[in-house]
Amino acid sequence: MRWLKFTASGQTSWGIVEGDGVVGVEGDPFGEWRRTERSYPLDGVRIEVPLIPRTFYCVGLNYLTHLKEAANKRGEVPNIPDRPEIGYRAQNALIAHDEDVVIPADATEKIHYEGELVVVIGKKVKHLTEHDAMSCVFGYTIGNDVSERTWQKADRGLWRAKNADTFKPMGPWIETEADPDKMETIVRLNGRQTIRFRTGDMIFGIVPFIVELTKYFTLWPGDVIWMGTDGASPDLKAGDVVEIEITGIGTLRNRFVTENR
Amino acid sequence: MRWLKFTASGQTSWGIVEGDGVVGVEGDPFGEWRRTERSYPLDGVRIEVPLIPRTFYCVGLNYLTHLKEAANKRGEVPNIPDRPEIGYRAQNALIAHDEDVVIPADATEKIHYEGELVVVIGKKVKHLTEHDAMSCVFGYTIGNDVSERTWQKADRGLWRAKNADTFKPMGPWIETEADPDKMETIVRLNGRQTIRFRTGDMIFGIVPFIVELTKYFTLWPGDVIWMGTDGASPDLKAGDVVEIEITGIGTLRNRFVTENR
């Protein structure tokens, strides 16, 4: 099932994508809901951010190629994580499919994309085991962990580098039936493929992350875990359009523009 | 005015503290609200976390004594920040006044408190100047930035060290009339004062943080900024009770217990 948060006829609600259309739903997928009589063509609605997570988790270095390239740029030996550790991103930065990423006026030209699988949590859980870890996963969506690499070197806690307004496109919808082991992540810049990798080739997969996280943290419905990216990005500039496709989920598309101040 | 989130007679709502009582309110302080006929003695209600912020901002090193003691412990020369930089905490960790801080089963004995002033944002704003920065401040509350120092040395992004469940007591209420320049922060361990400092003695104050933050981030109603702490803490153990008083606001009190697994 494909859950879309959308606005049509001035009303924002959840809906279920079916073919080229969306059926409006009362309630929300994490609680009680029922289908309504409202239905719209998909290309006639405004797609919204699927949700604002209560806590916004994000995995830093979780693919080997990305890790090695980042280390090489710093002139260091790659330091492969020996345990799954989590970070955070800021909710203010979230935008929807087709909304513009606004490059801050004082950013450098080192603006990069990072195409990521996003795990959406569906239940309040703690202390999950390897056996039942996946029971809390509601579905999957796509994230673009936009990064300003010059700030990334200087910022404490990556505060601007990863979290400036609009730096976290997420969407277009949440797919509940997808299988991460079969997914491929494909990034296109202005229509041309720049990278393609097996989404499941993570250093630590979804299960070990959920097991380790829930030793210490309660996960809540609507929490998200961004699972990291592979490869590297060219420098992006105003006018560029980045599409991140994850097979079995869909495509997240955003244009980059410059802040007008 | 003193805004309290509380539960009484099975109903959770906002209220206004007046003397030893609280008057129930319909709506919320960031939007429309009106007083109701419901009123209760303060000691007869359950105090809740004032709010779950959309984004949970936290300043790391913002007082000189704390900075110097942290550097000394690492055998390093204190590196005084030359600009206001922000970090994040995780919403899962928030608990209310009088709720227990649960020390995780595998934590070390290095459990510390950090008494902090919390700025509560009341308006959606961006690009504020030194002149109008304070216009977005709704009021103030108190935070205890509980930290596991052994994990703090090892964790990437302080994930468990600062963000394990229950590590972020906040409350008891939001005071809208207080003046940070006149406040003192007083910490008591089991009733005995362990530290007292002028709350306003920050390396960077509230105004420069809001100016710098809003260059890049939209602040939303209910966002919070924890402003950092001064001094150091002894190691805490199960049974300890930590009270953090900030004059003009009130006192946040929490007991520490051990996780029972």
Disruptive mutation site among B124, B158, B216 for chain A (greatest number of A CBs within 10 Å): B216
Q: Are B71 and B182 in a shared domain?
A: yes
Would you call A60 and B157 a contact, using CB atoms and an 8 Å cutoff? yes
Number of domains comprising chain B: 2
Residue B261 has pLDDT above 90, yes or no: no
Pair A80, A206 in one domain: yes
State the pLDDT at residue A156.
81
pLDDT at B176 exceeding the cut of 80: yes
DSSP B261: -
* Percent of chain A residues past pLDDT 70, beyond the cut: 100
| DSSP-derived secondary structure letter, B91 | G
Q: What is the mean pLDDT of residues A30-37?
A: 96
What is the residue whose two structure tokens read 């051990």?
Answer: B258
Alpha carbon A129 to chain centroid distance? 24
Q: How many CA atoms lie within 13 A of A253 on its CB side?
A: 10
Residue range A188-199: mean pLDDT, rounded: 97
Question: Confidence band (pLDDT; 50, 70, 90) for B126?
Answer: very high
Last residue of a domain, one of B11, B26, B47: B47
More confident position, A245 or B84: A245
Whether the per-residue pLDDT at B227 is higher than 80: the answer is: yes
- The B residues from 81 to 140 touching A (CB cutoff 8 Å) are 81, 85-93, 104, 106, 126-127
List the 30-89 stretch of B: residues with Cβ below 8 A of A. Answer: 52, 54-55, 57, 60, 81, 85-89
Q: How far is residue B111's CA from residue B227's CA, in Å, rounded to a whole number?
A: 20
In this structure, the answer to whether residues A24 and A76 fall within a common structural domain is: no
Judged against a pLDDT cut of 80, whether residue A66 lies above it is answered with no
The domain that holds A16 is classified in CATH as: 2.30.30.370
Q: What is the mean pLDDT of residues B11-33?
A: 97
Sorted by sequence, the CB contacts under 8 Å of residue B238 that are 6+ apart come out as B103, B256, B257, B258
On whether both B19 and B56 belong to a single domain, the answer is no
Question: How does residue B24 score in pLDDT terms, banded at 50, 70 and 90?
Answer: very high
Here the ipTM equals 0.93
When pLDDT is averaged across residues B93-112 and rounded to a whole number, the result is 97
Residue B181 burial (CB < 10 Å; 0-12/13-18/19+)? exposed
Coil, strand or helix: which one is A259? coil
Is residue B39 located within the same domain as residue B70?
A: no
Q: Please tell me which residue of chain A has the smallest CA distance to B213.
A: A160
| pLDDT range class, residue B163, cuts 50, 70, 90 | very high
- Residue type for position A149: R
pLDDT tens, residue by residue, A138-187? 999 999 999 999 999 888 878 899 999 999 999 999 999 999 999 999 99
Mean pLDDT, rounded, for B232-247: 97
Q: Collapse the DSSP code of A91 into the 3-class scheme (helix H, G, I; strand E, B; otherwise coil) and give the result.
A: helix
Q: Is the pLDDT of residue B66 over 80?
A: no
* Domain around B4: 1-47
**Are B102 and B53 members of one domain?**
yes
Q: Does B22 lie in the same domain as B133? A: no
CATH of the domain at B86: 3.90.850.10
Same domain flag for A178 and A234: yes
pLDDT of residue B156: 81
Work out whether strand B224-226 and strand B56-58 pair parallel, antiparallel, or are unpaired: parallel
Same domain, B131 and B244: yes
Give the residue-averaged pLDDT of B138-144: 98
Confidence of residue B249 (pLDDT cuts 50, 70, 90): very high
Same-domain pairing of B55 and B1: no
Residue type, position B64, single letter: L
Mean pLDDT, chain B, whole residue set: 95
Judging contacts by C-beta atoms under 8 Å, the chain A residues touching residue B55 are 90-92
Residues B7 and B67 in one domain: no
The larger pLDDT score, comparing residue A258 to residue A154, is at: A258
From chain B, pick out residues whose CB is under 8 angstroms from the CB of A89. 88
Answer yes or no: do A24 and A116 share one domain.
no
Average pLDDT of span A219-244: 96
Give yes or no for residue B77 having a pLDDT over 90: no
- The model carries a pTM of 0.95
pLDDT tens track for A94-152: 999 999 999 999 999 999 999 999 999 999 999 999 999 999 999 999 999 999 999 99
Give pLDDT, residue B260: 86
pLDDT band at A73, cuts 50/70/90? confident
What is residue B158's predicted lDDT score, i.e. its pLDDT?
A: 85
